[in-house]
Structure 1
């Protein structure tokens, strides 16, 4: 059993069942019935919420245990989502297949991160949106969750390097937030978040 299968074992939802607050604030930017990919969706809180807003969602995660819980959450909330067990380092979504890609606290090591971000950009249709929130290195001083390995933490400059010239920045910042996401994320947190739009060809 991998780390995330262990993390998601049991009936409790590690990061709660409500959507990430930044995603909820930015979701108004999505066109109705958007096709949305949610890599690293774990137990499904963000993908299920997006489906409740009327979007067509595919949730991806390395953990089959998490995705089982995502499907149960969707059933309880009366929506359907597609789920795929996926290693994001080898993720190959169809080009121009998505209206949006959502990364919420998906922390990947160097090499894997760049590959996953390239795949996400390629998956977006022209005009499609990428929405992301992640912890910055300043989170190492906090006890509200997140990885403790510096190489897994993101900065705005790092993300801008990953996107290159493919995406236009609509909103982005490094900031302090208050996390209330199940037992896994509680208290003040140091994050980077943003919304980017894929440039037209």
Structure 2
């Protein structure tokens, strides 16, 4: 059993069952239909919400326990998701597969894995597709209310601008706020939000 299986064990949802607040606030940016990828979706709170918005969702996670809880959550909400258990260090993101990609607190990734994931996200977005990403900033280490303990895994605005330089950044904000997302994310937190869109192809004469 990996550490995420251990963390997701039990009936309670580690990060709750409500969608991430930032993600839910971006509802107006979602297409009325299309495909979505929920990266490292764990117990399913974000993937299920995306499915409730009418999207065809693929939820990918390394934890079989998390994915099983995601299926139960989806059943209870009357929606269907596609689930895939995979190690994101090896998983093929593909090319131009998704209209929406949600990457919420995927900060288990060290810089090497993070680069691979971010490159995969850029490749997997369709032209016009949108990336919705939230994470912790280095200041989160002072709060200790969730997230990684390794500074290298945290995000700055410069890091995200550089990593997604091929996308059009529509929103990038750093701020501190109190959040309540299950027992896993609880209390004052140093957050960073990114909304970025893949440019449409140029149409020639």
TM over 0.5: yes
Task: Provide the rounded CA distance (Å) in 2 between the counterparts of 1:160 and 1:91.
Answer: 24
1:130–1:197 contact (8 Å) kept in structure 2: yes
Matched, 1:189 2:189: yes
What are structure 1's unaligned runs of at least 5 residues? none
What count of residue pairs does the alignment treat as equivalent? Answer: 200
Q: Which residue of 2 aligns with 1:86?
A: 86
What are structure 2's unaligned runs of at least 5 residues? none
Mapping for residues 9-158 of structure 1, pairs under 5 Å: 9-107=9-107, 108-158=109-159
Q: Structure 2 length as normaliser, TM-score?
A: 0.95
Q: Which residue of 2 aligns with 1:177?
A: 177
**CA-based RMSD:** 0.9
Give 1:34 shift.
Answer: 2.4
1:153-184 residue CA offsets vs partner (Å, 9 max, x unmatched): 111111111112x1000001111122110111
SS in 1 for 2:49: helix
Task: Provide the rounded CA distance (Å) in 1 between the counterparts of 2:62 and 2:21.
Answer: 23
Give 1:143 shift.
Answer: 2.8
Give 1:93 shift.
Answer: 2.2
Q: Structure 1 length as normaliser, TM-score?
A: 0.97
Stretches of 4+ aligned residues off by more than 2 angstroms: none
